[in-house]
């Protein structure tokens, strides 16, 4: 891959890791970003939060969604320990 896309996504592909709640949280974040942007996760650029908000607005054509984007980005944090817990 060209280094584009979500951090850690390439690591998860083809891995035989044991399923954990933190992996479920990451997957939920990827799914949420895909819903918000209408694009495959490999097409998501690595951007700061502000840049991601601008990019999301440009691809979705809608304003708002900051809370949903913040949740998605928190869930896709590269460090599993920093991801939110799933209840």
**Model's pTM, two decimal places?**
0.67
For residue 82, what pLDDT band results from cuts at 50, 70 and 90? very high
**CB distance 60 to 38 below 8 Å:** yes
Say how far residue 2 (Cα) sits from the centre of its chain: 17
Tokens in use for 63? Answer: 């304003």
Mean pLDDT of the region 2-18: 54
Tell which wins on pLDDT, 71 or 49: 71
Q: Name residue, tokens 């809370």.
A: 67
Residue-wise pLDDT tens digits, 39-64: 787 777 777 777 777 777 777 666 66
Side-chain half-sphere exposure of 4, counting CA atoms within 13 A: 7
């Amino acid at each position: 891959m060209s280094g584009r896309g979500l951090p850690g996504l390439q690591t998860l592909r083809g891995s035989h890791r044991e399923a954990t709640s933190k992996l479920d949280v990451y997957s939920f974040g990827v799914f949420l970003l895909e819903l918000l942007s209408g694009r495959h996760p490999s097409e998501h650029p690595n951007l700061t939060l502000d840049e991601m908000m601008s990019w999301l607005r440009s691809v979705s054509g809608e304003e708002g969604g900051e809370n949903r984007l913040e949740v998605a980005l928190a869930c896709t944090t590269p460090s599993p320990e920093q991801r939110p817990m799933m209840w």
